[in-house]
Structure 1
């Protein structure tokens, strides 16, 4: 029997840097192991813009990457600032051509704001089933854009199934589109074990003094870094510390963050590495005394899972999957989002108690190895696909039972 063909649409996919891309890659491999033929279509509206004034025709380039067919769509650039609707028209054209060529069994969109509408529209027009996977900002931030609010509701209502990486996200979606309550599920991301011993100690570690508090990301508004700056500035008056930001601020917010850094008063106690590869980021984690993730909202961030695997003592905020994962207090401390004093108290508590840091670090590693494993996530995705695809399309797959 012919394998069911899955078409996943996403804003990024390795070697692109980003948590969504890493998640899509991981899920694509799960589907491959489950017996599907997997296609990933990559497109992003930012790619319609060019800085050198050049022009180009629309294109779709296909490669074969680790068992997955990867199709990267680029829209045409025919004018200085292409209209967003022109971008989506080009994307739809090539997505439709790919479906005509491969005859997909199911569409699966990641990040509703850009991929969800064009993917769901094509699926509905072809009487095919479609999964939309909500990652975080699509419901925490973009839902407040009045231009796209109605579109988001339409996507939710017209999905065959909707997945979420936290119960908070699921509850917000149900409030917006109550009909999805019976066709949705929430479960965490997973992470493969990492051998941190294989990484070379970053040279910058030798420059850091005192308690090293670290955070990793492409830092932007939702990450709550201004509250981390405030908290570290407060406790630095009594504790020798270094705040290490592993990554960099996104370019469009750079002026704001330069102002925040100038005003925080940390001076040479603050170090920013700049953008690094994932391997370079991971190499820093075992050398942190405390890992801080002060997000205002954040889905289920891979950065948290990586820090847990490294055995870091973690301070996180009571938002999304961060709150769910750290809720029982065995894997880290939870604080209120946007509360510098609350964050300072938690950092102070860990900075002055090495035994607690060690205890929470061990608890974090144990929890991620037991509860956030690829085996568990694989079973969750198999359950979703069992709900969405007809039994006749799945009967050849191994490892799945039907009732």
Structure 2
């Protein structure tokens, strides 16, 4: 079948993207689902900094091309291939940007976001089976992004990349559970395991950073300190649970954090993906504290910090990929919390866009003008 999609042929084109148009809107061919695969009509897809990093070339040094981006999405199953289990036509689904094989060493110990086979497929731009289902009209294969490629009206994905959700959940908003919420809330609940009353600092107030604040509020962290370069984000951060806000460009945020917490926070979350910010987060923790790295820095960057503090102060630096989640468990937990009124997801939503506006949407994201834009197909 032919579907409309946003195809990236050339990473690294200069901004503004509304002029350079790195994402080409065109019709592509989409094969029918193979064994264990599912055809999904995409209802909504989020514009995330991970997609932006692919567009500007900062994070993915050897991205296969052409490629269809889009990893945070929701949709409706339209067709199932042979051997698909526990899914059927008309089911509502949220995408997981790491397909989970269920039997590798990492899946077996309850760490499916590190799935050996899923991450290998993502690195090669394929489904977990090794296949590709998108082609240009001239027959050229189009690579997958995280096994999802949701910047297309329809996509074929592996069943291992989908989570069936309650049909009462507003599907146009459900996309956010697949990245922003599971990453931010998961970093608090799964990676750090913050306890009530423990002080936390969140560096970076995009969609994931604000979700991290939601998670910290949910578990009773106190105080919650939010840091960003843009003070325009502070009002929303306070509504979501921040007790204090610090403008990173005005003075020394580490000194201010230590002042507010009598020596530093128990947990500092770097949601920026900048090694200088990660170093600041490390300095902002008290002895015995833990720094959680959520944002992904460019692949050519290295962290420099005081190594002795790891021993003499028993400090810890730990990564958190996809919120250290078990997606089939955690997406259901988060959607139930949302429907119970305990996760104010709607606060993250910026005005929705159409596929024709996607390059302009990434300009807005790069300039910090928006939190989470959703691309609506339906």
TM-score by length of 1: 0.27
TM-score by length of 2: 0.29
Q: Going by fraction, where is helix more abundant, 1 or 2? A: 1
Question: Higher RCO, 1 or 2 (CA under 8 Å, sep at least 6)?
Answer: 2
